[in-house]
A and B are shown apart, each in its own frame.
Chain A
């Protein structure tokens, strides 16, 4: 029988093959395009939050300003200056009596509506106020400067005063608690399972259980934290302690799984060498296995912590999204964290908070990128092929 090739069939198949290939590549490019669009969108919204409007005004420390700070300014200017500044004037005079009767000219924080207007965004200013600002700008008495307050202030009801400092400190405290609890427990569990555990039913249950724990929705950890830590153990609500404990239970499986992988990657010849020299199993672990698997363990820990720092839902359940303007002064005082701060700002109706939300997001993403970058660097640098 002669072997014939159906050219049309072959062409059809080749076309299908090409289309499949195009589909495969376009899937990746779609994901990539989303990533680019996402970052462009966030940066575009956030960009202006790193700038802050300031006005050069004459501050007149007179007797009336002792009762209400607004009197220190021209009446029309007092509407444009941030209430965060005028409110502090009476105290300032009381603290320094010599100020009374003097007049100084200085740059002060502008109201958030002025800020939005100077940035060319929708605002609620009246026509006369806009004209006044235009005049000030022409005179060089209104400017957009770098927004230091964003990094130095805590939360505030006034958008122009609100910053991420308190939330950042809170996040740091929570992270320390998380690290303190999940790292030793996770590494100990992994060492036990890999090096000491007998192969029995209980160990199988523990192993399945760790995998299950890694896939339980984070919000359920919040319910656990609420029921066990707050209601049963009496850990203070909204504190960095309860947040950190809750997150450490969530981070635990991540650390266990990656530590086990790191320990498993170490060849048995090294263990046998140590044992042959008369070391006990524990000495073998501390002097050979652990030092060699440390880079892998650290990589897993950093990735686990990076996930913990971006987690919000369980922390909301244990009360870490209250309005907290001051940085916490300990592990048991009320604290908030960066993601919770982002959430509360995003729920605020004032437009000026939207750009702050984006700015907070950029800071959070930067922290996460640095952490993940460190993890990748560690992995590449200390990667050993046995």
Chain B
């Protein structure tokens, strides 16, 4: 039996059982009630109690079986699994019905379980993080078995193709050009996004009329909602040729996969991130500060520059750091518009590649799954994870440490 059929059988077996449990338990409470005894909870609480008794052993057993099977400890045949689960469900139903007594606080039992389930749900986010860290780290360790970690960190040539050529010679994995490319594109994006985003936020928070603000804010947020694959297409099809033409006009040579076009387009994508976060902190600066400054005879712009922005600075810095982490991890724009060639250069008109481009390339090629090139993606992923986590943590600390508390 495949997994889908097992689920189907479990569903068809357990759901009717649960419904039967609910009805039998409520019926039992009613019949006892007519005999005159007072119950601790309402009949439907006992119904739910019976459902819990029926489902929890069956589901627990199937979950355990699935877990064991996944770890490769035992091979549980599907038929046996379904049969055991349903038998356990029936047993649970019998026990549940037998324990329905007036003295039982069914509501409390059921709710305790619900709260436990909610708690387990909230652990999923932690498990996800742990999963990301562990899976990336383990695979990266396999990579660093093959490739010296020092060469990886300090090498200036990235040429994994030799991995295909021979089994004993793997490619050269020096990651510096990839980080240089990532840094270059991120820097270009920041040059675009920070001034435009910050000035947009200032405009919306300090100058704009409510009506203007009401249209400008969602319009800016449209930019954040556009899928990155669309930005990538735009960068590759429209912006790159434009840049090549403009560069030619000035007598310069630009590659079609230059670093400038993904950088510019990524900058536009990041504008709303900076503007809406900065807008929030600027509007939370209390008016008394502004009024004080204006009353001293300062112009509006002077007030903004000397009073409002310094007060909002921690929030703005944290928005900046989040934007950097977004730019470093952005994938589709660079995959479509930046090059594949690792190129260590300061010239943004040349083609450069980034960490995320190489990760995607490692999985969309036709290498074996455990080839050094595929594994290198996990090495790069590990660095990416560390960098973005550091940026997030620093931005959280900045906000917490330096935030002004206003009454």
How distant is B147 from chain A, measured CB to nearest CB, in Å? 18
Knowing A219-B381, A316-B363, say if A25 contacts B203 (CB, 8 Å).
yes
C-alpha spacing A365/B208, complex, angstroms: 28
Q: Are A24 and B360 in contact (CB under 8 A)?
A: no
Stretch from A75-83, A85-93, A121-129, A185-193 contacting the other chain: A185-193
Tell me if A228 counts as interface (CB < 8 A to partner B). Answer: yes
Whether A227 and B135, one on each chain, are in contact in the complex, defined by CB atoms closer than 8 angstroms, is yes
Which of A97-105, A112-120, A339-347 is near enough to bind chain B? A339-347
Given known A-B contacts A223-B135, A228-B131, A342-B230, A188 and B118 have beta carbons under 8 A apart: yes
Structural contact, A346 and B299, CB atoms closer than 8 A: no
Known contacts: A368-B227, A372-B225. The answer to whether A189 contacts B121 by CB under 8 A is yes
Shortest beta-carbon distance, A123 to chain B, in Å? 18
B68 at the interface (CB under 8 A from A): no
Q: Confirm or deny: A313 has a beta carbon within 8 angstroms of a beta carbon on chain B.
A: yes
Closest to A196 in B: B115
Nearest CB of chain B from residue A347's CB, rounded to whole Å: 8
| A208 and B125 contact, CB distance less than 8 A | no
A234-B70, A252-B125 known; A227 and B139 CB under 8 Å? yes
**Given A25-B203, A185-B121, A223-B377: A215 in contact with B216 (beta carbons within 8 A):** no
Q: Which of B230, B237, B363, B364 has the most A CB atoms < 10 Å from its CB?
A: B230
At the interface, yes or no: B233 with Cβ under 8 Å from chain A?
yes
Q: Residue B368 at the A interface, CB < 8 A?
A: no
Q: Is A153 an interface residue (CB 8 A)?
A: no
Assess A310 versus B326: contact at CB under 8 Å? Given A189-B125, A280-B111, A332-B4. no
Residue pair B329, A219 in contact (C-beta under 8 Å): yes
Contact of B220 among A20, A28, A213, A256 (CB under 8 A): A28
Contact A32 B381 (CB under 8 A): no
Decide yes or no: A206 and B322 within 8 Å by CB, A189-B118, A216-B388, A312-B332 being known contacts. Answer: no
Q: Which residues of A contact B135 (CB under 8 A)?
A: 223-224, 226-228
Report the separation of the CA atoms of residues A358 and B229 in the bound assembly, to the nearest whole angstrom. 11
Contact A189 B381 (CB under 8 A): no
For the complex, what is the distance from the CA of A340 to the CA of B350, rounded to whole Å?
Answer: 27
Q: Provide the residues of chain A in CB contact with B332, threshold 8 Å.
A: 312-313, 339, 343
CB closest chain-B residue, reference A311: B227
Is A45 among interface residues, defined by CB-CB distance under 8 A? yes
Contact of A346 with B237 in the complex, beta carbons under 8 Å = yes
| Given known contacts A280-B111, A357-B233, A24 and B70 CB-to-CB distance under 8 angstroms | no
> Is A376 located at the chain interface by the 8 A CB criterion?
yes
Chain A residue contacts of B227, Cβ below 8 A = 309-312, 339, 364-365, 368
Select the stretch in A9-17, A49-57, A136-144, A262-270 that faces chain B: A9-17
A252 contacts across to B, CB distance below 8 A:
124-125, 128
Query: Are B236 and A346 interface neighbours, CB within 8 A?
Result: yes
B128 and A232 contact, CB distance less than 8 A: no
- Contact flags (1/0) for B241-277 with A, using CB distance below 8 Å? 0000000000000000000000000001001000100
Could you tell me if B125 and A210 are in contact, using CB atoms closer than 8 angstroms? Answer: yes
Query: Does A146 lie at the interface of the complex (its beta carbon under 8 Å from any beta carbon of B)?
Result: no
What's the Cα separation between A368 and B200 when bound, in Å? 24
Q: How far is the CB of B270 from the nearest CB of chain A, in Å?
A: 11
Q: Which of A35-43, A64-72, A172-180, A291-299 contacts B (4 or more CB under 8 A)?
A: A35-43
Contact B129 A196 (CB under 8 A): no
Please give, as numbers and ranges, the residues of chain B lying within 8 Å of A350 by CB-CB distance: none
A191, B118: Cβ atoms under 8 Å? yes
Chain A residues touching B, range: 35 or more
Within 8 A of A (CB), among B1-58: 3-4
A51 CB to nearest B CB, Å = 20
Pair A24/B131 contact, Cβ less than 8 Å: no
Known contacts A31-B271, A35-B219, A188-B118; is-contact A223 B206 (Cβ 8 Å): no
Within 8 Å of chain A (Cβ to Cβ): is B165? no
Q: Does A156 contact B (CB under 8 A)?
A: no
Instruction: List the count of A-B residue pairs having beta carbons below 8 Å apart.
Output: 251
Give the residues in chain B near A25, CB-CB below 8 Å: 203, 207
Q: When chains A and B are docked, how far (Å) is the Cα of A27 from the Cα of B275?
A: 10
**Given A31-B268, A210-B125, A17 and B388 contact (CB-CB distance below 8 Å):** no
Interface: B304 (CB within 8 A): yes
A220 interface neighbour in B115, B132, B330, Cβ under 8 Å: B132
Rounded to whole angstroms, the CA-CA distance of A16 and B298 in the bound complex is: 12
CB pair A27 B336 closer than 8 Å: no
- Given A217-B388, A219-B359, does the pair A312, B228 have CB atoms closer than 8 Å? yes
**Is B295 an interface residue, CB under 8 A from the partner?**
no
Query: Which residues of chain A are near B226, meaning CB under 8 Å?
Result: 38, 310, 365, 368
Whose C-beta in chain B lies nearest to the C-beta of A341? B229
Q: Across the interface, do A31 and B196 meet the contact criterion of CB distance under 8 Å?
A: yes
Complex CA–CA separation, A34 to B195 (angstroms): 15
B186 contacts A by Cβ under 8 Å: no
Q: Any chain A CB within 8 A of the CB of B346?
A: no
Chain B residues whose C-beta falls within 8 Å of the C-beta of A310 in the assembled complex:
225-230
Q: Is A321 an interface residue (CB 8 A)?
A: yes
Taking the complex as formed, is A233 at the interface, i.e. its CB lies under 8 A from any CB of chain B?
A: yes
Residues on B with C-beta less than 8 A from A323 are none
Q: Does A168 contact B (CB under 8 A)?
A: no
Interface residue B396 (Cβ < 8 Å from any Cβ of A) = yes
Which residues of chain A have C-beta atoms less than 8 A from B232's C-beta? 343, 346
B311 at interface (Cβ–Cβ under 8 A)?
A: no
Residue of B nearest to A16 (CB): B301
- Chain B hits for A364, CB < 8 A: 227, 230
Chain B residues whose CB sits within 8 angstroms of the CB of A306 once the complex forms = 225
B62 at the binding interface (Cβ < 8 Å): no
B144 interface residue per 8 A CB criterion: no
23 residue pairs from A and B, CB less than 8 Å apart: A21-B300, A24-B206, A28-B200, A189-B121, A189-B124, A189-B125, A215-B391, A215-B392, A217-B329, A219-B384, A224-B131, A227-B135, A280-B108, A310-B225, A312-B332, A313-B331, A313-B360, A317-B360, A342-B233, A343-B335, A346-B232, A346-B233, A372-B225
B residues contacting A by CB (< 8 A) are: 3-4, 70, 107-108, 111, 114-115, 117-119, 121-126, 128-129, 131-132, 135-136, 138-139, 195-200, 202-204, 206-208, 216, 218-220, 222-223, 225-230, 232-234, 236-238, 268, 271, 275, 299-302, 304-305, 322, 325-326, 328-332, 335-336, 356, 359-360, 363-364, 377-378, 381, 384-385, 388-389, 391-393, 396
